[in-house]
Each structure stands twice: as structure tokens, then as C-alpha cells.
Structure 1
Amino acid sequence: MLFNSLPFMVFLPVVFVFYWILLKKRLQAQNVLLLVASYVFYGWWDYRFLTLIAASTLIDFFIGLALTKKNLLRWKKPLLWVSIVFNLGMLGVFKYYNFFIDSWMEAGQALGFNMHFSSLQLILPVGISFYSFQTLSYTIDIYRNKIKPTSDFIRFAAFVSFFPQLVAGPIERASNLLPQFSRRREFNFEFAKSGIHLIIWGLFQKMVIADNCATFVNNIFNNYENLNSLTLALGSVYFAFQIYGDFAGYSNIAIGTARLFGFDLMRNFNYPYFSRDVAEFWRRWHISLSTWFRDYLYIPLGGSRGSRKEQVRNVFIIFLVSGFWHGANWTFVVWGAIHASLFIPLLLWRTNRKNLNGVAQNNLLPGFREFLHILLTFSVVCMAWVFFRSPSISSSFGYFSSFFENFGLSTEYLSIGRYSTELLLLIALFISIEWASRREEHPFAGKQKFVKTSVALLMITMFGVFSKHSDFIYFQF
């Protein structure tokens, strides 16, 4: 069920009314309702997906309980590995099996061997990468004695399947979200109003920015051989705002929807395109994933405590794994490797934590040097996005080859299609709004909320409702 669809517009108010009016002050009944609603929400795509999330929930619930049993202490590590192998095994089969089989056969053929292996006709379950990591963090934190397991299956199942953030995050930790299912929840008008503001802003990001960028991105990337440098550069910029508006939009809608039910989810984006280096970009982009890899992979590998060689190794591992997490394609691995290569010099020069303060702090505009750093960081991020968006490594290099071979600055593509010039104005408006709101959680958190909300709704009507809707990009991950 899509956030920007008619079924969800019916689903959300129905669940809201049952939750706050019919089941008010009945905590367990509210949790049961959220669990049922979440399974309806998830099963809307394909009811067969429910068996996987149910299996993951059952296994990690009972493993979590077993990890604290005194008579099972000697089985503590094997039990943790059962959880790890099961969750990563699901990912491996449904997301990466065919990729590894195809890569193995291609490598064999390159060496002169004629190998044949059967691939599987599998549908990638929506959101499997997100809820697998969420349940994994639960068992790992219990193993580390950071949290205690819950004995309430309904609460745990609702935590795993909580519909606002189930499909594309934020990837919540049990230490933050699970206790919220145990506390009595009172309706807070101001908290709910902030949730509605987040939903409206998320719809603006998705429907006005991302969906309108998508039309041009698809045309440019599908015809890059015949387009000039300016057009190809615009293609990478359009995709940068498409994926940002798409993913940040989903996260904001998810966080806002959760607030309607009295839940507080972690922030997932913090104006990443105002970053002054790649290290700052990753502190602002997909925060729930980057912190997950930091806590459950980077630090266990040794983090930045070892030698310089070990630090470089750890950074490469975390970025390559992060890239591969996004999909079964070498383009994502290259994308991760590019970011690792940009991050490592900052680590070696010990400047990776230089930009911890807010950008242009106490100033309306950034200084000239700060602006150049923002522009340079955005440029290299856009360059890396070309690999992320391209269907193959060869097409990625073909895109860059056309950029240099077909050098030209004419606006050949701006005159093609609907909203061409308007799209650039929309992006400029979007940047201006975010810049003015960079110290706030979202643009409606500051002054003149009514005016900003009204303008956003008007823009959604003008450029969003009649745009070509597309699925959220991160559904495929």
C-alpha cells in the first residue's frame, strides 16, 4: 500500500478512528490493532510476503527470550548465530541468489569454463532489508546485554511490523521503538499536528520534487548516448533530487504517521545536500542505516581504534557492504567504493569529524569557502549517483563517456517534455525552503506554519496530483 495512494487515504483515518476513539485507554487492544493493520498494509502488495515477516518475528522473539535463560548460557552465541544466519539467509536467497549465480557463470565463461546453474524465479519481498536489520538489532542488543527481551509477543510483533516504517524505514532500534509499545499512549494534539506537517512535507518531497524529476531522469538515462554534457549533468542532478525527495519523503511521511498514533521514530535525513564533505553527508543521509552499520559492523571490526591500515580496511568494508545492501548489482558496490575513496582521505587527515557544527551557523548565507565545499561535495555525490542509477557498470561508464564526447552547453533537453523549465524552478524553490529551514526538523517547524503548509498543499495539487506517480525507489531495497 503506497502512502500516496487512495487505499492508504482510506486506510489511515479508519485505523486512526479505531485506535483513538474505540480503543482509547486499552493499550493491548491498540497494539493488536496496530499489528493487524500492519499486516494488512504489508499484505496489500502480496499476501505471500507475510509468511517471511511472520517467520522472522517468531524466530527472533523466541531467540530473544532464550538468550537470557540461565540454563542456556552456553548456547548464547549459537542462538545469536541462528538469528543472524536466518535473517541474512532470507536476504541472500531472495535478494542475492540470482546475482551470485549469474556472476559466477559470467566469471567462469570469462575463464573458458562452460557452467550452467539454475536461477530462481523469486519476487523480492518489499522492505525485507529493513525489517531484517530491525529484528537483527534486537537479538544482537540482547546478546550484548544492552536491552532485555520482551515476553509480550503482540508488542514484539507490532514492533517488527509497525506499518509506518515497515517498508522503507527508518530502521528502528528496539531500544527506542519497542518500549513505546509498552507505555500507555495519550493523544497529544501538538504532537499529532507536527506529524501532519511531516506528512505534508513528505508528500511535497515525493509528489512535487521526486515524481517530477523521475520523468526527466528516466528519459535522460535511457538516451544518454545522444545527449550533450549539460543535459547529462542535469540528469545526475535531477536524480540526486529524485532519490532524496523520494526517500526523505517516505521517511517524513512514516515519522509523521507514527506521531498520529503517539510514536516517536528517529530522524532519517538532516538536509544532506548542505554537507561540506562526504563524512558530513553520511551523518545526514539515511541516518538509521549509517548508524546501524556503524554500531553493528564498523565498531565490531575495530572502528577507528586500530592502525591506519585497519581503519582503511574497516571503512572500505562498511561502504562496500552498505552499497551491496542497496541491491544485487555491481553498480551499487562501485557506488559504495566511490564514497569509501572519498571518505578515507578525511579519515587519514583526521578531518572526518571537522564539520559537526551547523552549516552557515548564525549567518544567513554560507561563506565563500563553505559554499565551495558544499558545491564540491554535492558534485561528487551526484557523480556517484550515476553509478547508483545506471542499470550496469558499462552503461555508467557510457554515461560519463558521452558527457566528454558530446560536450555542449545548449539546453537541448529543457525544451522537451512537460514542466522542463518549471522543474528547475521547483528544485530552486526546494533548495531555498530547505536552506531557510536547515536549523529546524522540517520546514513547518518554524514560524508561519499556516502559510508554509498552504503553499505546500497548493504545490502538491499543481505539480503533484497530476504528475506521473511512481513507486518509492527504496521499495526495491
Structure 2
Amino acid sequence: MLFNSIQFAVFLPLVFLLYWWIGPKNLRKQNILLFVASYFFYACWDWRFLFLLMFSTLLDYFTGLKMENCKSLKNKKFWFWLSILINLGFLGVFKYYNFFVESFAQAVANFGLTVHPTILNIILPVGISFYTFHGLSYVIDIYKGRITAEKNFIDYALFVSFFPLLVAGPIERATHLLPQLKRERVFNLDNMKDGLRQILWGLFKKVVIADQCAQYANQIFNNSDELNGSSLAFGALFFTFQMYGDFSGYSDIAIGTARLFGVDLLRNFAYPYFSRDIAEFYRRWHISLSSWLRDYVYIPLGGSKTNTPKMIRNIFIVFILSGFWHGANWTFIAWGTLNAIYFLPLILTNTHRKNIEVVAKGKLMPTFREFTGIVITFGLTAFSRIFFRSENITHAFSYIGKLFSSSLFLAPDFEEKKIAMLLIGVTLVFLFIEWIGREQPHALKTFGLNWKRPARWTFYYVLIAAIVLYGGKEQQFIYFQF
């Protein structure tokens, strides 16, 4: 069931009405309803994987209880590592097994040896990377003494499977979400209106920006050998906006949907394409994953409070892990390595926290220096996306070689350029609205609220009309494959 589907347009209002009809004073029934709705939502993808989701949930739930009741550190470590290894084992089998055996076969072939590895013909369970990380953070936090084990199974299972975040995040923490699931939630009309505005903006990002950019990105990347350098430059730009519109659009819909039920999810995007350097970019892009890797990998390794060689090692470990988390392909590892190289000068010169505040806060326009930083950071990001989108390393380097050839200065030669230029114009309007709302949690938080009602509703209806016009074909979200 996609967020941008007719089925979800029926499912969400039905769950919403049942949820608030049960009443704010019956928290247990509300949580049971959300739990059942979440499992139904996931079953719409493939009901067989419900067993994997339930097993992962039961494993971490009982592991948490066992660790809390352990009388010795040795036993506590046993249960801790049992959960970690089984969780990562499932992730490894479903997501990385074929990658490892094929890479091994290729490596030994370079020495003249031939092996015939057994390849698993299995489907990657939707959302496995996200709900596995939910469970891992829960188990780690109990082991470290940051939280106590949850006794109520329904509450814990809902924390793992809450349908707005189940298949593509944000990656929630038990310290943030579980307390909300145990508190009485009262209907708030303003929260509902704000949630609906965020859902509307998320759908616009997905259907009008991401899905339309995807058509050109796919056309150009799939035919890169036949196109000139300027066309490939447009391909990288289209994919860069596709990724942002697609994933931040999903996050907006997820966060807005959760708000309809009185739940606040972690913010996942904070206008990353207005960042002035790569460090700021990763504080604003996929925030829940970046902060997860920081808290559970980078800091335990010593972070930046260690000697220079170890600090460099830590940076590369985190970025390569981030790449590998995204998929079992050398292109993702190359993408992570490239971003580590981008990040390295900032950490070595201790300027990685120079840009903390929102750019041009309280002002209409950035300074020339800020604008230059935004353009350079965006350019570096768009270049790295070539590895992210390419089928393999050979394709990526072929694309880059053609991109920086003399044909870069020729007119683009991809199909339907006039319609593409119209899309670029719509994207610029989209960026303008995001720029105006960059100090808010989402672009429509306050945008247009001071307008007269006819003007404000005309704006909303234009967004809805655009979504309906371009939403005929349901396009899956990019991050469902991760």
C-alpha cells in the first residue's frame, strides 16, 4: 500500500475515524487499533514477511526483558549479542548474501579460479533496514542503561511497526517514541490541520517533483552512452531532485500522518539543499540515519575526540556503512567513500560545525558567500548521486567520463526538452516555497496562513490539482528498496 495510492486514501481516513471514535481515554484500545492497522498495512506488501517482522519484534522484546533481569554482566552480554547477531544475520541474508558471494566469486576469478556460488532467489522484505535499526537502537539503549525494558508487548510492537514509519522511516528511537505511545493522546484540531498540510506538501514533492524528475533521470541514465555531456549533467540534476522529492516527500507524509494520531515522529529532513557545506548537509539530510550512525557507531569508536588517524578511520567507517546500508552494490560504497572524502577537510580543520543555524536566518536572501557555499555543496551532492543512481561502478565511471567530455558544452539532446524545461520551472517554484519556509519544520507550516481564505484555498487546490493530474500512475518510493 503506497502513500500515493487510492488504497491509502481509503485506509487512512478509516483508521483515523476509528482511532478517535474509540476516544482519548482508552489508550490501550487506541494502541491495539494502531498495531492491527500497522500489520494490515505491512501485509498489503507481502503477508509472508509479517512473520519476519513479528520474529524480529519478539526477539528484541524478550531480549530487553532478559537483559534487564540479568544478575551478571556476562549473561547480559550474552543476550545483547544474541539479539545483535540475529538481527544483523537476517539483514545480511536478505540484503547482502548475494552481494558477498558474487563479489567473492569475482575476486577469486581474478586469480584464475572459478567458483559457482549459490545465489538466493529471495525478495528483499520492505522496510527491513528501518525496523531492524529500530530494534537495534532499543537493545543497545537497554544494554547501556539509557532506558528500561518495555513490559507491554503491544506498546513495544507498535513502536517497531507503527505504519507511517514502518517501510521507510524515520528511524525512531525508543527514548522518543515509546513514551508517546504510553501517554494519553487528545485530539487537537490545529495538529490535524498542520498534519494535513504536511501530507499535502509531501504528496506534491513525491508526485509532482520526484516522479516527474524520475522520468528524465531514468531516460538519461538508461541511455547515457548515446547522450552528450550536457544531457548527462541534466540527468544528475533530475535524479538529485528526484531523490529529495521522493524521500523527503515520504518523510513529510509519514510525519504528517503520525500527527493525525497525536504522535510526533523525529524530523528527517531540514531543507538539505540549502546547506553551505557537506557537514551541514548531513545534519539536514536523512537526519534519523545520520544521527543513528553518529550515536551508535561514530561516538563509540571515539568520534572526533581521538587522534587524527583514528578520527579519519571513524569518518570513513561511518560513511561507508551509510553507503552499505543503502544497498548491496559497490556503487553505494563508492558513494559513501566519496562523501567521506568531502567531509574530511571540514573535520580536519575543525570547521564542520561552522554552519549550525538556518542559512540567512531572519533574512530574505543569503549573502554571496552563503550562496556560493550552497551552490558548491549542491554540486558536490549532485555529482555523488551519479554513483548512487548508476547500475554498477563501470556505468558510473563511464557516465562521469562522458559528462566531463567536450560535449558538456553542446546543447542537451535528450527527448521532450520543452516539457523538461517546464518541470525545471515548477521545481524552481517548489524551491522558492521551501526557501520561504526554511525556518519551519515543513514548508507549509506557516506559508500562506496569513493570506485571505480564498487565496489560501486556491493555493491548496492548485497543489491538489497538480497531484491528481500527475498522479495517474502509482510510483514506488525509492527508499522502499533499502
Band the TM-score falls in, shorter-chain normalisation: over 0.9
Question: Which segment drifts farther, 387-396 or 364-373?
Answer: 364-373
Which structure 1 residue ranges, 5 or more long, are not aligned? none
Q: Paired residue for 1:470, among 464, 467, 475?
A: 475
What is the match of residue 441 of structure 2?
A: 441
SS in 2 for 1:385: helix
Following superposition, the deviation at residue 349 of structure 1 comes to 0.7
**C-alpha distance in 1, partners of 2:297/2:219?**
38
User: What per-residue deviation string (whole Å, max 9, x for no partner) do you get for residues 150-202 of structure 1?
Assistant: 11001111111000001000000000101111111110111111111110010
SS in 2 for 1:46: helix
Q: Tell me the distance in 1 between the aligned counterparts of 2:395 and 2:276.
A: 29
Distance in 1 (alpha carbons) for counterparts of 2:408 and 2:139: 55
Name the structure 1 match of 2:330: 330
1:239 is aligned with what amino acid?
A: F
**What are the equivalent positions in structure 2 for 1:161-180 lying under 5 Å apart?**
161-180=161-180
Q: Which residue of 2 aligns with 1:256?
A: 256
Q: Which amino acid aligns with 2:83?
A: S
Residue 94 of structure 1 is matched in structure 2 by 94
Q: Aligned residue for 1:386? A: 386
Per-residue CA deviation, residues 438-471 of structure 1 (Å, 9 max, x unaligned), is 1111122125236456425423423654354310
For 2:83 and 2:155, the matched residues in 1 are separated by: 19
Between the aligned partners of 1:232 and 1:342, the Cα distance in structure 2 is 22
Map residues 203-218 of structure 1 onto 2, 5 A cutoff.
Answer: 203-218=203-218
Alpha-carbon shift at residue 110 of structure 1 (Å) = 1.1
Match of 1:321 in 2: 321
8 Å CA contact 1:197–1:453 kept in 2: the answer is no
Residues 117-136 of structure 1: matches in 2 within 5 Å? 117-136=117-136
Identity of matched residues, %: 52
The alpha-carbon deviation at position 360 of structure 1 amounts to 1.4
C-alpha separation in 2, matches of 1:53 and 1:45: 12
| Aligned Cα root-mean-square deviation (Å) | 1.5
Q: CA deviation at 1:5?
A: 0.3
Q: CA deviation at 1:24?
A: 4.3
Q: Distance in 1 between matches of 2:333 and 2:460?
A: 37
1:308-387 equivalent positions in 2, closer than 5 A:
308-387=308-387
Cα offset, 1:25, TM superposition:
2.1
Residue 247 of structure 2 corresponds to residue 247 of structure 1: yes
Q: For 1:172 and 1:227, how far apart are their aligned partners in 2?
A: 42
Q: Which secondary structure does the structure 2 equivalent of 1:301 belong to?
A: coil
Residues 56, 132 of structure 1: 8 Å contact kept: yes
Closer/same/farther in 2, CA of residues 406 and 49 from structure 1, 3 Å limit = farther
Partner of 1:273: 273
- Partner residue in 2 for 1:220: 220
Give me the whole-angstrom Cα distance separating, in 1, the residues matched to 2:121 and 2:215. Answer: 29
State whether structure 2 residue 454 is matched by structure 1 residue 459: no
Shifted more, 363-372 versus 330-339: the winner is 363-372
CA contact (8 A) 2:227 2:414 kept: no
Asked if 1 retains the 8 angstrom alpha-carbon contact of 2:204 and 2:466, the reply is no
The answer (yes or no) to whether the contact 2:22–2:29 under 8 Å persists in 1 is no
Give 3-state SS (helix, strand or coil) of 2:299's partner. Answer: helix
Contact conserved, 1:204 with 1:456, CA < 8 A, in 2? no
Displacement of 1:121: 0.7
Does the residue aligned with 1:440 lie in a helix, a strand or coil? coil
- Report what 2:85 is aligned to: 85
Kept after mapping to 1: 8 A contact 2:208/2:470: no
2: CA distance between counterparts of 1:453 and 1:89? Answer: 51
Q: Secondary structure at the match of 1:77?
A: helix
Is the alpha carbon distance of 1:404 and 1:250 closer, same or farther for their aligned partners in structure 2, counting shifts above 3 Å?
Answer: same
| 30-39 or 220-229: bigger deviation | 220-229
Q: When the two structures are superposed, what TM-score results if normalisation uses the length of structure 2? A: 0.96
Q: Which residue identity lines up with residue 162 of structure 1 in the other structure? A: F
State whether residues 255 and 265 of structure 2, in contact with CA within 8 Å, keep that contact through their aligned partners in structure 1: yes
- Which residue identity is paired with 1:125? P
TM-score (norm: length of structure 1): 0.97
Determine the C-alpha separation between the residues in 1 that align with 2:457 and 2:232.
Answer: 34
Partner in structure 2 of residue 57 of structure 1: 57
Q: 1: distance between equivalents of 2:405 and 2:58? A: 56
Q: Residue 407 of structure 2 aligns to a residue in which SS?
A: coil
Quote the offset at 1:409 in angstroms: 3.9
Superposition deviation, residue 431 in structure 1: 1.2
The residue type paired with residue 181 of structure 1 is L
Structure 1 residue identity aligned to 2:84? I
Please identify, of 350-359 and 439-448, the stretch whose mean Cα deviation from structure 2 is larger: 439-448
Could you list the per-position Cα deviations for residues 405-457 of structure 1 after superposition, in whole angstroms to 9, with x for gaps in the alignment?
35144444466268322111011111111111111111221252364564254
Number of the residue aligned with 2:287: 287
The total of aligned residue pairs comes to: 477
Where do 5+ consecutive residues of structure 2 fail to align? none
Aligned 8 A contact 1:444 1:452 in 2: no
Q: How far 1:307 moved relative to its partner?
A: 0.1
| CA distance in structure 1 between the partners assigned to 2:40 and 2:461 by the alignment | 28
Matches within 5 A, 1:22-33: 22-33=22-33
SS state of the match for residue 94, structure 2? helix
